[in-house]
Amino acid sequence: MNILVTGAAGFIGFHLSKRLLAHNYSVIGVDNLNGYYDVRLKKERLKILESNEKFQFYKVDLVNQEALNQIFKNHSIPIVINLAAQAGVRYSLTHPQSYVHSNLVGFVNILEACRHYQVEHLLYASSSSVYGANTKIPFSTQDSVDHPVSIYAATKKANELMGHTYSHLFNIPTTGLRFFTVYGPWGRPDMAYYSFTKDIIEGKTIKVYNNGDMSRDFTFIDDIVEGIVKLLDHPPKPDTKRNPCPSSSHAPYKIYNIGNNSPVRLMDFINILENLIGKKAKLEFAPMQPGDVKETYADITDLQNDAGFTPETSLEIGLGHFVEWYKNFHD
């Protein structure tokens, strides 16, 4: 079976594609290989995927609707997993248009392709950042997510709204995946776990925001991939209850949190990293960054009930894999 993975040269798309290929799916990868972070990393990931003959790659921007449609014309594609997006909270304060381009215009093009080429299940990346100013923990898909605090979060919430509309109007089963701080080998250099590792190794000072008073539900990449794979076979069905909860609908629409369900305090995270690297970090304490949130913590009840899956990798184990990869890759 063919599966289209957008953002296939990205961190999550690479790992997911690798896993799907190992499960004997044929993967059609799409990515524009943009320069948001080191393109070499994207090309290295791609090289690994392209060594498998069941992987076919298109260097296409989601905004190029004609090129995108051509891919759907060339292949029969029952399942689409949309991971391509402009990611990053901080960058969205300075480059909002980039989020409009990829996350809004690009996503509508994906929805339109799913509509016109009879896709049976669309899964797409949302984000824990949609919880924005929410202070109730753990974050539940039953909670209101009407108070985003960055343009990044607003575009992810918009994806969920647009997904719902297409589920309703055209009966396309859509599954939105709210990922919580994903980390692991081949990860993203713009994320703290990556830049902290680099700076500790190089003896540089790291900035600790909100004076260290933050926590994150760090989720290991293999757990994210496992969660997605488990949900492939569960296209959402209409919820027949009179008043469906916010994460479901009378349309075939569903939202899941995929997180580790065990937040770690920033200072403990730094401590684990120091132990793994075998070197003390030089710290500079700084105030909270605009757009940032103090805490994330996933309620994963729906994932457990529907997919029978609970992420279990501890930060010590997962970061151990990352640090080992980092040292080899940057040798």
Task: Give the residue numbers marked as catalytic.
Answer: 152
Strand pairing report for 182-183 and 219-220: parallel
Query: Residue 146 carries which side chain, given as an amino acid letter?
Result: D
Instruction: Select the residue whose beta carbon is closest to ligand NAD and give its number.
Output: 10
Measured from the CB atom, the residue of 19 and 250 that comes closer to ligand NAD is 19
CB of 14 to ligand NAD, least distance (A): 7
12 binds ligand NAD (CB under 6 A): yes
184 binds ligand NAD (CB under 6 A): no
Which listed residue (3, 4, 17, 61) binds ligand NAD by CB under 6 A? 61
Measured from the CB atom, the residue of 102 and 174 that comes closer to ligand NAD is 102
For ligand NAD, what does the binding mask look like between residues 36 and 55, x meaning CB under 6 A?
------x-------------
Q: Roughly what angle, to the nearest 10 degrees, separates helices 315-329 and 192-201?
A: 60
Please state, in angstroms and rounded to a whole number, the distance separating the CA atoms of residues 223 and 312.
7
Please state, in angstroms and rounded to a whole number, the distance separating the CA atoms of residues 257 and 136.
15
# chain residues binding ligand NAD, by CB under 6 A: 27
Which listed residue (3, 5, 9, 123) binds ligand NAD by CB under 6 A? 9
Per the omega criterion (within 30 degrees of 0), is the bond before 244 cis? no
Nearest to 96 by CA among 147, 154, 176, 148: 154
CB of 262 to ligand NAD, least distance (A): 16
Measured from the CB atom, the residue of 257 and 278 that comes closer to ligand NAD is 257
- Hey, what long-range contacts does 307-312 have (CB within 8 A, 24 or more apart)? 307/227, 307/230, 307/231, 307/234, 307/256, 308/230, 309/226, 309/227, 309/230, 310/261, 311/219, 311/220, 311/223, 311/224, 311/226, 311/227, 311/258, 311/259, 311/260, 311/261, 312/223
Which listed residue (121, 157, 164, 188) binds ligand NAD by CB under 6 A? 188
CB of 57 to ligand NAD, least distance (A): 11
* Positions 20 through 39 that interact with ligand NAD (CB under 6 A): 31-34
For ligand NAD, what does the binding mask look like between residues 254 and 283, x meaning CB under 6 A?
------------------------------
182 binds ligand NAD (CB under 6 A): yes
CB of 238 to ligand NAD, least distance (A): 26
Q: Looking at 50-58, 71-79, 83-91, 275-283, which segment touches ligand NAD (CB under 6 A)?
A: 83-91
Angle at CA of residue 225, ends 72 and 75, nearest 5°: 15
Which listed residue (3, 10, 72, 261) binds ligand NAD by CB under 6 A? 10
CB of 179 to ligand NAD, least distance (A): 4
Please state, in angstroms and rounded to a whole number, the distance separating the CA atoms of residues 170 and 164.
10
* Strand intervals (E) in the chain: 2-6, 26-31, 55-59, 79-82, 121-127, 174-179, 182-183, 205-208, 215-216, 219-220, 253-258, 264-265, 282-285
Query: Which residues face 26 on adjacent strands?
Result: 2
CB of 59 to ligand NAD, least distance (A): 9
Measured from the CB atom, the residue of 166 and 193 that comes closer to ligand NAD is 193
Please state, in angstroms and rounded to a whole number, the distance separating the CA atoms of residues 224 and 126.
13
125 binds ligand NAD (CB under 6 A): yes
The contact set with ligand NAD (CB under 6 A) reads: 7, 9-13, 31-34, 42, 61-63, 83-87, 102, 106, 125, 127, 179, 181-182, 188
